Structure 1
Amino acid sequence: MAESLHTVTTLPAARRPGCPFDPPAELIDARRHGPISRYPFPDGHQGWLITGYDLLRSVLADPRFSSRKEFMRHHPTIDLGDIEVPPAPPGEFLLMDEPQHGRYRKPLVGKFTARRMRLLTERVEQITADHLDAMEKAGPPADLVTAFARPIPAIVICELLGVPYEDRGSFQEQIESFLSGEASDEDQLAAYLATQRYLAELVTAKRADPTDDVLSDLTDTDLTDEELKGISLILLAAGFDTTANTLALGTFALLRNPAQLAALRTDPALADQAVEELLRYLSVAKTFMRTAREDVELGGQTIRAGTTVILSYNTANRDPERFPDPHTLDLRRQNGGHLAFGHGIHQCLGQQLARVEMRVAFPALVTRFPTLRLAVPAEQIDLRPETADIYGVKSLPVTWDA
């Protein structure tokens, strides 16, 4: 079996022209050869790439695979040489294992239950309506990214963290700068450091004068200011960028699939299924990594201790063994269980919040603007580079009959 094992040589792989929603062809081809492939890292480390649904899900649930940052000594595109990767900063629990991960996540679990997030529905509906009103008043055309997709999750997460209203504009710009993957390395670093400084000041303010928000609630725990800053950064990244890009890219996908868009517009009860299918179909958080802490048998291969494994979420969510006709967007698809929010102990904490925002926003948009359409040819839509952690569109020019 080893002689015929497929090898992927280039990551991130480019998407095919005219196929902005499909995973790169090289990854789809790798999945055809089997759920696991070899991947030689730039520093010479022989790693692995998981593209199959079942194998990827099993890795996410296996404590023998670590999320710890200091074990990720191999970068998919950069030879790190002898650089020692430091542990994750305090509070940044996505890059930690148990028990540190649980210490940070546990105080948050009760803040993001499905029930509590559903209670936010009315507020999300108001925020959504306000932005649709503004779009309608300004008239066509509009950039759906700046007018709709970014502001909704940005306002919601700022309110949850208790960011003062007057700070939200500049704060959102900082976040976008270091998360988009489009700014220069220097500008991204500057925005990241500025965001950290702001969050440190916000934590101090919440300790001195708590308000009705998640961050204020967390100041009443044993978490330090530095830990609260790290947790806030994780919540921002997870609660803003992924949802914003799913809203924008999802609208693009619906506009390119008019029968599916019409189904959502005429059947509001379809919203829940539509959101799950768009999450599966798009999988904007494309890849993550794990490192084996001991020898593990996986997919007929031995993953040696210390070996880094790349997990291709978007390819696993297009696995034909799990999802029939996987490259078709079908809002009435019945077989759920996608991995867009991950699986296991690191499954996205804010997934219910994201669902609420999308269940409200998508139907509201297509209902308010029944003639919504692209304002430029589809091939002119400016997409985020594959090097960005979160895939999406940079802008989405749309128009409608006023």
Structure 2
Amino acid sequence: MRLPIERECPFDPPARLRGLPPMSRLEFADGHLGWLATTVEAGRAVLSDPRFSARQELKHIALRSVRPGGPASPAPPGFFAATDPPGHSRYRRLLTGQFTVRRMRLLESRIERIAAGHLDAMAAAGPPADLVRAYALPIPSLVICELLGVPYDDHDFFQDCSAEIVAARGDGMRALADLTAYLGELVRRKRSEPGDDLISGLTGDLTDEELANVALILLVAGHETTANMLALGVFALLEQGSPLEEVSWESAVEELLRWLSILHLGAPARAALEDVEVAGELVAKGETVVLSLPAIDRDEAVFEDPEALRLGRQDARRHLAFGHGVHQCLGQQLARIELRIGYRALFQRFPGLRLAVPAAEVPMKTDAAVYGVAALPVTWS
């Protein structure tokens, strides 16, 4: 099969992903015959087994348009997401010290103030509003800027670059070069004028090139993913009509992460370094396995009635939205905090929030590596 893209419903996986075995043959854009993992067990097995590599030069891409510019070369220094241990371990160790649960929780009051400020601005401007531009995008953008030490005054530039980088169609390579050059100059300034931020804190451990690429990954991932999840989650809650008066937002966030997969085209993938058996199938050396997170996180063997959105679901945290194994998302605790505060503050401030257009008219990002809504028109009483 080929990787399906179109969805019948904006909140459901493509129909062709339903009922597949744990491992299915998948035809890649370049003709490579690889595999698609569709269950929690298979996904965890692939992501935790050191016989599978994250190196980008070893992996085939299921959809050609996700990576412009032809075959990949080895990841440049600092591009830790596309490296394996022991090199990956070095970067991970340095960054883990910057993303401790304690440090993330210390950011809570700041995130609450940021959310409140943008809600004040929405209220002052009056309905309707595009929730993406007015709320979902600026909150994680401002937080990751403060964490990294990136001037928020430049947010339009890096948001535009990020959107191009994660778009399946567009001038992603030029945007990548522009953003890398910008961060390279910022790193050089931090060396001479350090501040109380993550980039400054790593100048003694990493080269300029390494640090610019680390910052690139954290900057793009730190706002694109959370912004899309925040807006898509609000869309789902409004469309599903879920009662929110007594909801525990901590558990609701986990269920939304499970039920809504934003990694649509940019699915996690690994290349087999040797022959490996997964879920009864032999993955040959050199073959690529792509994980279908929309299917995995609705695995009926793990989640009871997986198609239903249950905000109080007890086992929701077994999802793989943040990955698994040594490459599990570094910023997952920060993302959880931003989502919890973002949802709670929004619905407390505007309990009468509703869509300003019919749900069918909400534009979706169907051609981007990070799935979500392109805009979310809302109004309130």
Does TM-score exceed 0.5, indicating one fold? yes
Aligned equivalent of 1:255: 238
Query: Percent of aligned positions with the same letter in both sequences?
Result: 53
State the match for 2:368 in structure 1. 388
Alignment partner of 1:150 is 2:134: no
User: What amino acid is aligned across from residue 284 of structure 2 in structure 1?
Assistant: R
Cα deviation, residue 84, structure 1: 4.9
1:119 to 102, 106, 120: 106
Aligned counterparts of 2:332 and 2:57: Cα–Cα separation in 1: 26
Match of 2:352 among 347, 371, 374: 371
In structure 2, give the amino acid aligned to 1:127. I
Give per-residue Cα distances to partners, 1:228-279, cap 9 Å, x unaligned.
0110011012211110000000000000122x2x33xx236x0100111111
Which position in structure 2 is the counterpart of 1:5? none
Q: With structure 2 as the length reference, what TM-score do the two structures score?
A: 0.95
Q: Which amino acid is 2:191 matched to?
A: R
Q: Which residue of 2 aligns with 1:23?
A: 13
* Residue correspondence of structure 1 range 70-149 to structure 2 within 5 A: 70-72=57-59, 74-78=60-64, 84-149=71-136
Pick from 201, 205, 219 the counterpart of residue 236 of structure 1. 219
- Unaligned runs of 5+ residues in structure 1 are 1-8
Partner in structure 1 of residue 273 of structure 2: 293
How many Å apart are 1:10 and its aligned residue? 2.3
Q: Which segments of structure 1 move beyond 6 Å, counting only runs of 4 or more?
A: none
1:272-291 superposed Cα distances (whole Å, 9 cap, x missing partner):
00111111111212311111
Which string of whole-angstrom CA distances, capped at 9 and with x for unpartnered residues, describes residues 305-333 of structure 1? 00111111121000111101111111010
Q: Look up the SS of the partner of 1:70 in the other structure.
A: coil
Answering whether residue 2 of structure 2 is matched by residue 10 of structure 1, we say yes
Deviation at 1:67, TM superposition (A): 0.4
In the alignment, the residues of structure 2 paired with residue 92 and residue 228 of structure 1 have an alpha-carbon distance, to the nearest angstrom, of 9
2:164, 2:170 within 8 Å by CA — same for their partners in 1? Answer: no
Instruction: Quote the Cα distance in structure 1 between the aligned partners of 2:138 and 2:109.
Output: 16
Q: Number of aligned pairs?
A: 375
How far off is 1:190 after superposition?
A: 2.6
C-alpha distance in structure 2 between counterparts of 1:176 and 1:185, whole Å: 9
**Distance in 1 separating the partners of 2:62 and 2:300:** 26
* Partner SS state of residue 142, structure 2: helix
Q: 1:193 aligns with which of 143, 159, 177?
A: 177
Distance 1:241 1:281 in 2: 18
2:251 pairs, out of 261, 270, 273, with: 273
Contact between 1:90 and 1:230, CA under 8 Å: does it hold in 2?
yes
Deviation at 1:353, TM superposition (A): 0.5
- The RMSD of aligned alpha carbons is 1.5
SS of corresponding position for 1:39: strand
Structure 1 stretch displaced more, 111-120 or 135-144: 111-120
Unaligned runs of 5+ in 2: none
Q: How does 1:311-350 map to 2 (within 5 A)?
A: 311-335=291-315, 336-350=317-331
How far is 1:180 from its partner?
4.0
Name the SS of the counterpart of 1:241 in structure 2: helix
Code of the aligned partner of 1:175: S
Q: Name the residue aligned to 2:204.
A: 220
SS at match of 1:48: strand
What SS class does the counterpart of residue 13 from structure 2 fall into?
Answer: coil
Q: Residue 118 of structure 2 aligns to a residue in which SS? A: helix
Structure 1 residues 43 and 195 mapped into 2: Cα distance closer, same or farther (>3 Å)? closer
Aligned to 1:42: 29
1:70: Cα distance to partner? 0.9
Choose which of 254, 262, 266 in structure 2 pairs with 1:284.
262
For 1:355 and 1:169, locate their aligned partners in 2 and report how far apart those are by CA, in whole Å: 24
Q: 1:204 aligns with which of 177, 181, 188?
A: 188
**By how many angstroms is 1:69 displaced?**
0.7
Partners in 2 of 1:307 and 1:179 — Cα distance? 24
SS across alignment from 1:98 = coil
Shift of the alpha carbon at 1:76?
1.3
Deviation at 1:389, TM superposition (A): 1.2
State the match for 1:6 in structure 2. Answer: none
Name the CA distance, whole Å, in 2 between partners of 1:96 and 1:46. 23
- Alpha-carbon distance, 1:167 to partner: 2.4
Determine helix, strand or coil for the equivalent of 1:91. coil
